Structure 1
């Protein structure tokens, strides 16, 4: 491959990643179809992307129906928090750590081969375009990539994001994973709350658990509950 062709390929990959991740930044409030988080027992999972994916969290986590949305099988955002805080009752299983988790599903098909996702993300995160796509606020200057590595087909990133989280106050330092599943690109995050800080290792462990449950759900039939 020539140097020129390599540069064009990297640029195309970066543009494609930006387009895919833009569908993972659904930070606006849900529309009128939203449900109250206390309208009944919180569900443990949510089918998205036309049933291609079933999102669920680690034990003790449930779906926040009021904050989650699925745009008719296109982009989706699923927000999870401890079941007890969502009205599951005192007898519901307690989460090992209190945090907020998000699963954002890109509207477009996966744009990079799983085996090449790490170099694509490394190059992407080194650009202002990439940082803006990763930032909650869409501003490159608000985010820093502290660490990035891969485990299998999953890319993990340790980020510092000073942008505002749409559904409350969270710690700026957090772990995020980019996961290929169900033919889509997913962005999974574990966000620590000010009153329940997470150590670096605990946050990564929780995110790995989250990744495992989502990967398992990519092959399950579309049900909810």
Structure 2
């Protein structure tokens, strides 16, 4: 891989690693908000309708931000707060900085990178590339979508298959994922549509166009 693509790829590896652990204090407590500001106020993280931020599991520090979403009803304990008919588990990882060249032109190289052992290692929840299968990827505008299976033992509470999106917003590299519970897995089309909705909400909340 050439130098001009390796730096963005390493940056994305860092963003993906944040889904496992992020150093830093918990974000400000506010029950179960639908949106939270991270990266020193530089980015708003919000999910699709019916999803709220799990403040106890979310982090925002110098290494980056990690935000976990659950259903608003489950997190608030109030059914009137909204609950999707088929709930998923959503995460957002954010680090400062995005490729100076513009991320759209780099997405094909990034897709190719994630198909390599090094890329699969970045995607693996256990850091083991052998647990990961990249079933497919596609680019829509300025967003890279990845269809992933991760059979790492640490992922036993969620189904192995999930979808991830990589994009740049407000000068930050953002990784969004949609997983489903192992005992109530979502269909592939459901996960993909939910992720597309997640991406659209993030772009809208941060003043970016849908493409």
Give the TM bin, normalised by the shorter chain. 0.7 to 0.9
Q: Any conservation in 1 of the 2:136–2:147 contact (CA below 8 Å)?
A: yes
Could you tell me how far 1:174 is from its partner in structure 2?
0.7
Q: Which among 87, 94, 100 is matched to residue 83 of structure 2?
A: 94
Q: Indicate the RMSD between aligned Cα atoms, in angstroms.
A: 2.4
Inter-CA distance 88–213: structure 2 relative to 1 (3 Å threshold): farther
* Residue 57 (1) aligns with residue 44 (2): no
Q: Alpha-carbon deviation of 1:184?
A: 1.4
| 1:139 maps to which of 128, 134, 148 | 128
Residues of 2 paired with 1:111 and 1:165: CA distance? Answer: 35
* Cα deviation, residue 111, structure 1: 5.6
Q: Which has the larger radius of gyration?
A: 1
List alignment gaps of at least 5 residues for structure 2.
none
1:122, distance to aligned residue in structure 2 (A) = 2.3
Aligned to 1:181: 169
CA contact (8 A) 2:178 2:194 kept: yes
Q: Is structure 2 residue 6 aligned with structure 1 residue 14?
A: yes
Which residue of structure 2 aligns with residue 4 of structure 1? none
Does structure 2 conserve the Cα–Cα contact (< 8 Å) formed by 1:155 and 1:178?
yes
Paired residue for 1:69, among 59, 75, 97? 59
Unaligned ranges ≥5, structure 1: 1-6, 221-225
Greater alpha carbon shift after TM alignment, 153-162 vs 108-117: 108-117
Of structures 1 and 2, the one with the larger relative CO (CA 8 A, separation 6+) is 1
Structure 1: distance between partners of 2:27 and 2:141: 36
Cα deviation, residue 23, structure 1? 3.1
**Residue equivalent to 1:152:** 141
Count of matched residue positions in the alignment of Structure 1 and Structure 2: 207
**Residue 44 (structure 1) aligns with:** 34
Post-superposition offset of 1:40: 5.7
Residue 223 of structure 1 corresponds to none
Counterparts of 1:141 and 1:29 in 2: how far apart (Å)?
24
1:30 touches 1:67 (CA, 8 Å); kept in 2? no
- The change in CA–CA distance for 1:12 and 1:35 in structure 2 (over 3 A counts) is closer
TM-score, normalising length from structure 2?
0.87
Cα deviation for residue 99 of structure 1 reads 1.0
